[in-house]
Amino acid sequence: MSKKIIIANWKMNPLTFKEAEKLFANVAKEVSEIKKTEIVVCPPFIYLEKLKKLSRKISLGAQDAFWNEVGAFTGEVSALMLENFGVKYVILGHSERRALGETNIDINRKLKSAISAGLLPILCIGENDRDENHEYFNFVKSQLLESISGIPKNLLYKITIAYEPVWAISTTFNRRDATPTDSKEMTIFIRKIISDKLGAGMKMPRIIYGGSVNNRDAGEFLEHGGVEGLLVGKASLDVKKFTDIVKIAENEND
Ligand code: PGA
């Protein structure tokens, strides 16, 4: 397995740059000894520029990027603009964006433009709920295949696939805990879909898990969840919780 990756999705937080700077600087201080774990922070767009100067160890990611490079698209920011600016990763297809109307077709266009701009996409997929007939496997399969449709096989490894069951995300109404077994089952399924598509000998995309990960269960997910990293929302706004998760990943790398 490759080196572990821990990604913070700050979502639309915190409210002021002052708080963002404090959070980022404190995280950077706590992870200064980390050597083997890749750390990514995805703040709101407007904080990217200033945070870029605060740590070399932490890579920056955006939470979305538009598919056209430049032009008349009010309110959008392009993948190429982000890349030119020094951003390395971009979250695409997050369930909160899908809930606002984003489709697999939109996500497919965004993935293609992110890859051609040189960004590394973090593609979020995951079912809204589970059903007794296990239809959710087909749901995730279509999300995945429609999102990556037409992307050359030799570029698929650039994508980090984040399995995020929506029912386990911290802000979901009536949320339930997902277990490392839930994650493991789905990652086996996802790896099979990708390896059927790629055939033997091709470099595989990395798969990570997200959904209410905290410093108490991060180790379990990394050890038994079949994943090479974690996408952390709520707990990434808490310096201790987030940096504990990074340290747990670092120990898993040993
Ligand atoms: P959560 O968010 O850790 O707060 O559940 C994860 C995400 O939505 O990416």
Q: Who contacts 244 (Cβ-Cβ below 8 Å, separation ≥6)?
A: 215, 218
pLDDT (0 to 100) of residue 189 = 98
Cβ of 9 below 6 Å from ligand 1: yes
Distance 231 CA to ligand 1 centre (A): 7
Query: If the chain, 254 residues long, is cut into consecutive pieces of 10 residues, what is the mean pLDDT of each piece?
Result: 89 98 97 96 96 92 98 98 96 97 98 98 97 96 98 97 97 94 98 93 95 97 98 98 98 80
| Nearest alpha carbon, ligand 1 atom 2 | 233
**92, 123, 170, 209, best to mutate for ligand 1 pocket (most atoms within 8 Å of CB):** 170
The answer to whether residues 92 and 111 touch, using CB atoms and an 8 Å cutoff, is: yes
- What length is written for the chain? 254
Q: What is the pLDDT of residues 91-116, one digit of tens each?
A: 999 999 999 999 999 999 999 999 99
Cβ of 213 below 6 Å from ligand 1: yes
pLDDT (0 to 100) of residue 201 = 87
Distance 211 CA to ligand 1 centre (A): 5
Atom from ligand 1 closest to the CA of residue 124: 9
pLDDT (0 to 100) of residue 242 = 98
| Nearest alpha carbon, ligand 1 atom 7 | 233
Secondary structure (DSSP) of 72-133: S-TT--BHHHHHHTT--EEEES-HHHHTTT--HHHHHHHHHHHHHHT-EEEEEE--SS--TT
Q: Which of 38, 164, 228, 250 is catalytic?
A: 164
Distance, CA of 218 to CA of 245 (rounded, Å): 6
Cβ of 162 below 6 Å from ligand 1: no
Cβ of 98 below 6 Å from ligand 1: no
Residue 164 annotated as catalytic: yes
Residue 94 annotated as catalytic: yes
Cβ of 231 below 6 Å from ligand 1: yes
pLDDT (0 to 100) of residue 254 = 66
Q: What is the pLDDT of residues 148-183, one digit of tens each?
A: 999 999 999 999 999 999 999 999 999 999 999 999
Chain CA centroid to CA 233, Å: 10
Q: Which of 94, 127, 228, 250 is catalytic?
A: 94
The answer to whether residues 92 and 123 touch, using CB atoms and an 8 Å cutoff, is: yes
Q: Who contacts 15 (Cβ-Cβ below 8 Å, separation ≥6)?
A: none
